[in-house]
Structures are given as structure tokens and as C-alpha cells.
Chains A and B, each alone.
Chain A
Amino acid sequence: MGEKIPMEGVNISPKMARVSVLASGADLTAGFLHPMARDRINLKLLITEDRIDGARVSCCVAAEDRSRTKSLIDAEPGPAQRAEIHEPVGLISIFPLRSSLKTLGLALMALANAQIPVHAFCSSLSALTLVIDHDRLQEALAAFECCFDFPGERPPDSNESPPLP
């Protein structure tokens, strides 16, 4: 094992549900994203994928919003035809990423070596965020600690949103 890459931090989410719908472009906005916004359901990690048969959007919602999300999808005939909900999942984010392919490669290798399936991942301005099964978040963190150096204490194993201070 080489020298660990210093990182500034790691975040672990509470339990979430991953929602995936396949719809035409118009359906996606009117039939999925707009109702979610209207019902004030926060989306995490929104990923869109253009396909020949439409567009697939995948996102994560808080576990407590899962039922409302399912109701909204079922109420819309378009997206409901090919919708999937997978739960419980969790997000693990490490930062800073700064477009580092080495960081991305090490993170994916660490999870592969630990045999932890990755459902989705994306990078943002600073962070690399991966969607994995919630009950494997601590394993993923341990795997990351073998190749990344995180400051401070290990994030707690949380099944709920962090309490307001």
C-alpha cells in the first residue's frame, strides 16, 4: 500500500432511497421533477442519462420521503411505468476531489476490493459521492481509510439525520 492521500473530510448520509425512473424528456420534467419540487422533496445526487427510449433519471431521497415519492410516481402514468425504488442506500462523500482521477480510481478500487457494490456515483465541484447499500457505509469508510487520510474523528454510524445543534 502506497502513501495515503490526504483528504479534508468524509461525509456519510443517513438512510435514503434511490429512485430511478425512465421517461420521455417532457414526462421527466412535468411528471417527476415538478411534482417532487411541488411537494418539497429534496433530491440528492440527481443523475440523468439520455437513452434511445427516453431519459433515465436517478436520485436519492430521504428514507422518510420514500412513501410520498412513491405516491407521486404512481400518480403519473408516464414515469410510473418504469420506476424503481431501491432502499436503503446511503451516500458516502469524500473531498476535495478537484478532478483527481487518482482519487476516483483509488476510491473505486477500495470499494471493489471490499466487494461493496456501487449503485451510482458522481463528482461535484469538490466532492466525490458514491451511492452504496446503507448497511455497508462503515465498511466503505474503513476501505477508504486504507488509502485516504481523513482528519478528525470517524463520522458516526447514523441511521437518522444528524440532530440540530
Chain B
Amino acid sequence: MNDKKLILVVDDDPDLVEAISMKLESENYRVAKAYDGIQAWDRIKQERPHLIILDVMMPNKNGYHVCDELKKNPQYSNITVVLLTAVGDAVTSTKYTHMDGKTALADEFIPKPIDLDNLMEIVKDYTR
């Protein structure tokens, strides 16, 4: 039995996925990866992660949609979602805002650029 917690990292930037994954693995987590919202759902169904680090702006299906679908599905609604919000602080004309994130019922919000240490603290808090 593998007791390492599984974290799903979802972002369309492969470098960011890799950077977060390396940090998580160094902290003794297992990591699954996805590069868009549709892949994310495939991973969620296949592997049922403990926590999802989910980017907002992605092709195919954005992070808000994935989060919304997840939290409204009783089978998956207890999975913790940390949303990475790159656009909420400085840009007001976009449809992607912090408010959208909050209505998407995510458990936590982290602005980009990401502070990896802050992200790790949040992951540890939610996976204890």
C-alpha cells in the first residue's frame, strides 16, 4: 500500500507542471499531471487524487469549469482544489477573475507567479 498522498497538477505550461511536480516529489508526494481540463478529468477518474492544483486559463476546458463540475459531483466533491489564478490581480476586463474562482467553490486560491513555498504550505495543510 502506497501511503504517499497523490497530487494532481494541471496547467497547460509544461514547465510549470514540471517545477511544481519536482517540488512535490521532493516533499514525498506522488504526482499526476495533466495539461488541460479534459485530461484533468481523465486523471481524476483514473487516479482519484487527494488534492488538485488547478490552473484557470487552459485550452479545451478551463480550471473554473473543472472545479465547478468537481465540486457539484458528490463522488468527487471532497477532493481539495487549489486554483492558480494568474489574471485576477491586475486585469479587470477579463472573464477570469477571483470572483469567478470563488463561485467555482475552490478550497484555496493562489495568484501567479506562484510562490512555491507558499503552495507547499497549503498542500501540507490540506493533506495532513
B-contacting residues of A (Cβ < 8 Å)?
Answer: 8-9, 11, 93, 95-96, 124-127, 151-152, 162, 164-165
Whether B59 sits at the interface, judged by CB under 8 Å, is yes
Partner of B14, one of A126, A152, A165: A126
Cβ B59 vs Cβ A165 within 8 A: yes
Whether B25 sits at the interface, judged by CB under 8 Å, is no
Given contacts A8-B33, A8-B35, A152-B39, is CB(A162)–CB(B15) below 8 Å?
A: no
A-contacting residues of B (Cβ < 8 Å)?
Answer: 12, 14-15, 17-19, 33, 35, 37-39, 57-62, 65, 95
Q: Which of A93, A151, A164 has the most CB of B within 10 A?
A: A164
Cβ A124 vs Cβ B35 within 8 A: no
Point out the residues of chain A lying under 8 angstroms from B60, CB to CB: 165
Q: How far is the CB of B60 from chain A (nearest CB, A)?
A: 7
Cβ A126 vs Cβ B95 within 8 A: no
Cβ A9 vs Cβ B14 within 8 A: yes
In the complex, besides A8-B33, A125-B19, 4 extra interface pairs with C-beta distance below 8 angstroms are A127-B15, A152-B38, A165-B60, A165-B65
Partner of B15, one of A125, A151, A152, A165: A125
How far does the alpha carbon of A93 sit from the alpha carbon of B12 in the complex, in Å? 12
Point out the residues of chain A lying under 8 angstroms from B18, CB to CB: 95-96, 125-126
Q: How far is the CB of B84 from chain A (nearest CB, A)?
A: 15
How far does the alpha carbon of A124 sit from the alpha carbon of B65 in the complex, in Å? 29
Q: How far is the CB of B106 from chain A (nearest CB, A)?
A: 16
Residue of B nearest to A162 (CB): B59
How far does the alpha carbon of A162 sit from the alpha carbon of B35 in the complex, in Å? 14
Residue of B nearest to A8 (CB): B33
Residue of A nearest to B63 (CB): A165
How far does the alpha carbon of A165 sit from the alpha carbon of B12 in the complex, in Å? 13
Cβ B14 vs Cβ A95 within 8 A: yes
Point out the residues of chain B lying under 8 angstroms from A125, CB to CB: 15, 18-19
The 4 closest A-B pairs by CB, nearest first: A126-B18, A95-B14, A165-B62, A126-B14
How far does the alpha carbon of A126 sit from the alpha carbon of B17 in the complex, in Å? 8
What are some 26 contacts across the A-B interface (CB < 8 A)? A8-B14, A8-B33, A8-B35, A9-B14, A9-B35, A11-B12, A11-B14, A93-B14, A95-B18, A96-B18, A124-B15, A125-B15, A125-B18, A126-B14, A126-B15, A127-B15, A151-B39, A152-B38, A152-B39, A164-B57, A164-B95, A165-B37, A165-B58, A165-B59, A165-B60, A165-B62
